[in-house]
Structure 1
Amino acid sequence: MKKPVSTAQAGTLESNDISIIVSPGEPGKGIVIELESVVFDQFGQLIFEEIRKTVEDQGVTDVYIKANDRGALNCTVAARTLTALARAGVALKEEVL
């Protein structure tokens, strides 16, 4: 299983974007996601699911993710998550490169 080796960030707090901060998590805690969103009531669960799916698809465990969403599309959520993981030292699977 892969784990981030450092803290890294991707994205912005601009409208229609999302800021993702990835940090090594506590061993055995799994994927922990803290989410703030301007559309939390409508799309919060979908954003959680997109982040979790993206992280799980990369085989990453024991990671802490702080996300601050400003109405980003799913493709942006996935792209920012992958970029933050890569910047944190996770070797991404080749099919996403």
Structure 2
Amino acid sequence: MELKITATSGTLESSDIQIILEPSDGGIEIELESTVKAQFGEQIEKVIKNTLRSMDVRDAKVTANDKGAIDPVIVSRVQTAVYRSAQNTNYKWV
């Protein structure tokens, strides 16, 4: 899926994650800030990358501000940001 515009999803509330997704030409780049980065940073980045790949997004700049979100929340926030960025209204939730 081709990203067209900058899009956001999520909040800065506890147990949530805010995703800012921007079009890019340099693969997937993730900038992560998290209250639990030392313990779960690698897992959060893995979930973000796997979700993007499952949606056929190969190039994206991701800014993630995590406040303790669990994996399903991360997946849903990334999916929402991708659909918004691609300006796609044909939702196929996985």
**TM-score normalised by structure 1 residue count:** 0.89
Indicate the RMSD between aligned Cα atoms, in angstroms.
1.5
Letter in 1 for 2:86: G
Identity of aligned residues (%): 41
Match of 1:17 in 2: 16
CA deviations 1:52-95 (Å, max 9, x no partner) are: 00000111111111000000000000000000011101647735
Match of 2:83 among 75, 81, 86: 86
Write the distance in 2 (CA, Å) between the matches of 1:42 and 1:85. Answer: 26
**Do the aligned partners of 1:3 and 1:90 also contact (CA within 8 Å) in 2?**
no
Asked if residue 63 in structure 1 is aligned to residue 60 in structure 2, the reply is yes
Extract unaligned runs of 5+ from structure 1: none
Name the count of aligned residue pairs: 93
Write the distance in 1 (CA, Å) between the matches of 2:85 and 2:78. Answer: 11
**Do the aligned partners of 2:83 and 2:91 also contact (CA within 8 Å) in 1?**
no
**TM-score normalised by structure 2 residue count:** 0.92
Extract unaligned runs of 5+ from structure 2: none
CA deviations 1:25-61 (Å, max 9, x no partner) are: 1x2x111111000000000000000000000011111
Match of 2:31 in 1: 34
Write the distance in 1 (CA, Å) between the matches of 2:7 and 2:20. Answer: 6
**Do the aligned partners of 1:58 and 1:93 also contact (CA within 8 Å) in 2?**
no
Asked if residue 76 in structure 1 is aligned to residue 64 in structure 2, the reply is no
**Do the aligned partners of 1:32 and 1:63 also contact (CA within 8 Å) in 2?**
yes
